[in-house]
């Protein structure tokens, strides 16, 4: 059975904001061996870590097979599926929403500790990274990317946003904001009837594609995916109660 981490957060009256891609010191990065918790007086949300991974398609199975949490290098035309899963572990029904940051972290002429300049070649040309629905086949995505005018990608992103990587260096990339989902509570005295079909977990899948038209200078670079999970209790709360539960980073 997959090990789950209990994240405990108590909803506070003011939201926690991301400013310029920087995180306040009260936030924490999560892996499968770490725990994040906040304590405040107004209510508790307990969910599993998001378990962000890359997937590969196995021709012998109908379901994707977990590949790794690391892709060492990308080449033009590469298409990879990302997935994250969040389970409600508490008895309160909860609302969740997600923010995904994507940026090139290092590679030729850019070390992990170097600040990326504002005129970086990674962003001075066309945006070569695209997010697509997981329901599309790789062939369909490649055809769209090769059409000269891609149109079937998920247009929920903002490009050329400034971030800070784990080494504290400046990076530029994309931010995607995903709409919310409601999960029913579980266990003793669980709050139910709030989530569609009584769901107590949420699985998200998308495909990330690097255009076949990408210049050779992008090859062998590492792409970082930074997922923020925000949540609040579903009942008797308002938009001012959203708080950051945790963050997971893969590349």
pLDDT digits (tens, 9 = 90+) for 73-132: 778 888 989 999 999 998 999 999 999 998 888 776 778 898 988 777 666 555 688 899
Confidence band of 180 (pLDDT split at 50, 70, 90): confident
Q: Which ranges of the chain would DSSP assign to H, the alpha helix? A: 121-124, 138-145
Domain assignment present for 125:
yes
Domain assignment present for 225:
yes
- What residues are paired with 210 via a beta bridge? 129
Domain assignment present for 71:
yes
Confidence band of 205 (pLDDT split at 50, 70, 90): very high
Task: Please report the pLDDT score of residue 62 as a whole number.
Answer: 44
What is the rounded average pLDDT of the residues 148-170?
A: 85
- 3-class secondary structure, 36: coil
Burial group, residue 20, by CB count within 10 angstroms (0-12, 13-18, 19+) = exposed
Choice between 229 and 21, residue whose per-residue pLDDT is larger: 229
Q: What is the domain range of residue 215?
A: 7-250
Backbone angles phi, psi at 96, to 5 degrees: -125, 150
Domain assignment present for 2:
no
Domain count within the chain = 1
- C-beta of residue 75 within 8 angstroms of C-beta of residue 217: no
Domain assignment present for 15:
yes
Domain assignment present for 167:
yes
Task: Please report the pLDDT score of residue 148 as a whole number.
Answer: 83
Choice between 47 and 69, residue whose per-residue pLDDT is larger: 47
- C-beta of residue 208 within 8 angstroms of C-beta of residue 80: yes
Domain assignment present for 1:
no
**What are the distances in angstroms from CA 19 to CA 24, 76, 222, 226?**
9, 32, 24, 15
Domain assignment present for 205:
yes
Q: Is the pTM for the entire model greater than 0.85?
A: no
């Amino acid at each position: 059975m997959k090990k789950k981490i209990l994240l405990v957060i108590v909803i506070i009256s003011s939201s926690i904001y991301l400013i310029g891609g920087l995180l306040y010191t009260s936030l924490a990065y999560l892996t499968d061996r770490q725990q994040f918790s906040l304590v405040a007086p107004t209510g508790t949300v307990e969910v599993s870590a998001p378990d962000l991974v890359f997937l590969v398609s196995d021709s012998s199975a109908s379901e994707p097979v977990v590949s790794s949490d690391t892709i060492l290098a990308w080449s033009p035309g590469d298409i990879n599926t990302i997935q994250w899963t969040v389970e409600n572990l508490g008895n309160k029904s909860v609302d969740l929403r997600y923010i995904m940051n994507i940026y090139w972290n290092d590679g030729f002429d850019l070390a992990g500790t170097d600040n990326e300049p504002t005129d970086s070649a990674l962003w001075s040309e066309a945006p070569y990274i695209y997010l697509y629905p997981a329901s599309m086949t790789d062939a369909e995505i490649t055809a769209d990317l090769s059409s000269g005018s891609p149109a079937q990608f998920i247009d929920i992103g903002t490009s050329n946003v400034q971030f800070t990587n784990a080494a504290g260096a400046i990076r530029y990339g994309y931010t995607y904001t995903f709409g919310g989902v409601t999960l029913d509570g579980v266990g003793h005295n669980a709050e139910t009837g709030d989530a569609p079909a009584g769901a107590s977990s949420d699985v998200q899948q998308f495909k990330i594609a690097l255009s076949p038209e990408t210049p050779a200078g992008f090859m062998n670079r590492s792409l970082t995916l930074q997922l923020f999970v925000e949540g609040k209790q579903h009942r008797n709360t308002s938009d001012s109660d959203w708080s950051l539960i945790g963050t997971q980073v893969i590349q």
